[in-house]
């Protein structure tokens, strides 16, 4: 991942691209380490062509795409797969404003805040029921490892906003 993140960080420094590290690797910034087979990034829709060009330049090929994300494989089996999630420029700005810097070795990337990561996880769970167990565990662990970041009212508001209010009782005991 180091060379991929270094390459993208340099592009970001040059002003070519703005991105956030999301998914399993972003959880590390908030104290949760778990195995993941890929690296996930979030970009605004206007940066899709730039991200695609950058990934292609370093040996990645797109193997799947929808209106909201793309999946990439590298020609080397040693390189991590990459998933790229697309959001509107307005959503990207909101997530960026509430993000924090995460140091991975010599690389500094921005990651969403805990409330924003939980919102992304809730959106994924609502959109794809198969993600409920994995993303639900991530939400629970984020709350357990970061007490006081959200109170019960704020957490319930997030669950309601993302249409997951029926799941809130499973998580309410994790906040005060």
Average the pLDDT over 42-53 and give the result: 98
Amino acid 29: pLDDT: 96
List pLDDT tens digits, range 122-141: 999 998 889 999 999 999 99
Give the confidence band of 1 by pLDDT, cuts at 50, 70, 90: very low
> Can you give the pTM of this predicted structure?
0.93
Which pLDDT band holds residue 35 (cuts at 50, 70, 90)? Answer: confident
Q: What is the pLDDT of residue 136?
A: 96
Give residue 2's pLDDT band: very low, low, confident or very high (50, 70, 90). Answer: low
Which pair of tokens denotes residue 70?
């793309």
Which pLDDT score is estimated for 105? 83
Q: What is the rounded CA–CA span in Å between residue 105 and residue 89?
A: 29
Q: What is the DSSP letter of 80?
A: P
pLDDT digits (tens, 9 = 90+) for 59-86: 999 999 999 999 999 999 889 999 999 9
Would you state the structure tokens that stand for residue 30, as one six-digit string?
């908030």
The secondary element (H helix, E strand) that includes residue 92 is helix 89-97
Q: What is the mean pLDDT of the chain?
A: 94
How does residue 14 score in pLDDT terms, banded at 50, 70 and 90? Answer: very high
**174 has a pLDDT exceeding 70:** yes
Type and span of the H or E element at 175: none
Which of 55, 5, 54, 62 has the alpha carbon at shortest distance from 28? 5
């Amino acid at each position: 991942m180091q060379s991929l993140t270094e390459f993208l960080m340099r592009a970001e420094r040059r002003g070519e691209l703005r991105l956030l590290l999301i998914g399993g690797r972003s959880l590390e910034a908030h104290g949760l380490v778990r195995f993941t087979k890929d690296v996930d990034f979030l970009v605004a829709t206007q940066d899709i062509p730039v991200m695609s060009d950058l990934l292609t330049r370093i040996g990645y090929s797109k193997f799947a795409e929808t209106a909201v994300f793309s999946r990439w494989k590298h020609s080397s089996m040693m390189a991590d797969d990459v998933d790229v999630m697309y959001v509107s420029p307005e959503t990207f700005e909101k997530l960026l404003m509430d993000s924090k810097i995460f140091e991975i070795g010599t690389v500094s990337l921005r990651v969403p805040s805990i409330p924003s990561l939980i919102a992304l996880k809730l959106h994924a769970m609502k959109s794809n029921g198969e993600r409920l167990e994995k993303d639900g565990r991530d939400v629970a662990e984020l709350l357990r490892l970061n007490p006081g970041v959200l109170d019960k009212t704020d957490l319930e508001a997030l669950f309601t906003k993302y249409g997951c209010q029926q799941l809130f009782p499973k998580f309410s005991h994790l906040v005060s």
